[in-house]
Amino acid sequence: MRYRSQEVAYWYFAVAMALFGLQLVFGLLSAAKYLGPDPLLYILPFDVTKVIHTNLLVVWVLTGFMGATYWMVPDESRTELHSVKLAYIQLVLWVLMGVTAVIGYLFRFGTGNKLLEQPLPHKIVIVVVMLMFLYNVGMTIRKSGRFTTTEGVLLLGLGLAAVLYLPALLEFENYTVAIFYRWWTIHLWVEGVWEMIQGGFLAYLLIRLSGADREVMEKWLYVIVGLVFIAGILGTAHHYYWVGVPSYWLPIGGIFSALEPLALVGMAMYAYTAMRRSGLSHPNTLALHWTLGSAVFTLFGAGLLGLAHTWPSVNKWTHGTLITAMHGHAAFYGAYAMIVMAMISYALPLLTPGRREGGSALGYWSFWLQLAGMFGMTLSFATAGIGQVYLERILGLGYLDAQLKIQVHFLMLIATAGVFSTGVALFIWDFFRIRPNFEIIGDDTDAANRAPSAPRPRMA
């Protein structure tokens, strides 16, 4: 690494990997409950395991975003972080919030607002942490006097993600109103500003890994930002179809949801173009695998599968079924999990000297097992969801009767989830198996710009 303060990223990545592993545990528990009988019914019922599974997803991805930002911003700004100490305080507060929230979920202490179940005190901590984060990053860029478009798009995405969390602080007694405003956070995060964050990381990695021209990458970023604002914001309406809002939302949601994949097509196109130009010349081919994989799997999961069931005439049958889980798993994994692992794979050889820069055999096994496992999980959810739609929405069977008839698909789901989990376990093991050693690699000019870092945590 070129800057001492980039060591902060390692600890954020370490926390993210631990939470990723925990998320998979609760995901497998949730899937197994579909098969029954459930020996943990009165200890860890389905509603508890699912809440923890989905909320851990959001928390670990955001942790990965923070770590990746603390790696990327010093590198782009060519200066140390404004405050290493503040970054560590932020991490401690974030972990305490996450741990106490999970413990609370075990005792059903939450708001019941899907993906935003955090109690109000936890939400206030989240706001404080995000403000600390944005202040630290903003001051770093300000003192450097260097502001790239890649940083700008990343910072815009992070800032809007913080702003769009504010509706989650409000409570509404009317369920329809609560659902309406919930999508202001959830949709505008995952199908809006988070795509800017992904685009910023994607551009940074492609510039570093493929030697792609910065000016070309930045032009693509402007296209992505424009499409996110045009399609992503109004595309929120596709969540409004069946929650009691006026009918004019149907054509708005349908049209602009159909435009949303264009941003994802743009990402995949410029990733492929950059790869063709470079000829895979950078030694860190594992990071390049994750980078290109994120662009392509985002197009598949978020783009094609999302478009496949968000059009009103289709969504009236698929809404609230396992078809949604099909789209959700593939989209989150491709767009956000894979880009975090790409940033980790790029930074890790510099944070743990002695590691092969091109990636280990474990790393490549992890990549292909995760890809195969997630594709299999997507097919499992798709076949189960199609069966569910036909049995429940067309034949009129009750929910539990339909679940019994599609149970066989959950055997495939658990089998493919096992493949995926094996890949994740290999990634986590590969991450932790070599101790960090924060050596500085740079010229004298870099050294002159670096300030002493705050005391850092020690690994046991």
Q: Pick the closest to residue 315 from 249, 400, 379 (CA basis).
A: 249
Helices (H), 353-406: 361-388, 399-405
Low-confidence stretches of the chain (pLDDT < 50) are 443-460
* Cβ atoms of 155 and 138 closer than 8 Å: yes
* Cβ atoms of 206 and 277 closer than 8 Å: no
Say what the pLDDT of residue 98 is.
94
Say what the pLDDT of residue 170 is.
87
Say what the pLDDT of residue 385 is.
96
Say what the pLDDT of residue 457 is.
43
* Cβ atoms of 228 and 320 closer than 8 Å: no
Q: Pick the closest to residue 24 from 313, 398, 369, 440 (CA basis).
A: 369
* Cβ atoms of 55 and 101 closer than 8 Å: yes
Tokens 């699912």 belong to: 50
The residue length of the chain stands at: 460
Give the global pTM.
Answer: 0.92
Chain centre to alpha carbon of residue 44: 26
Amino acid at 231: A
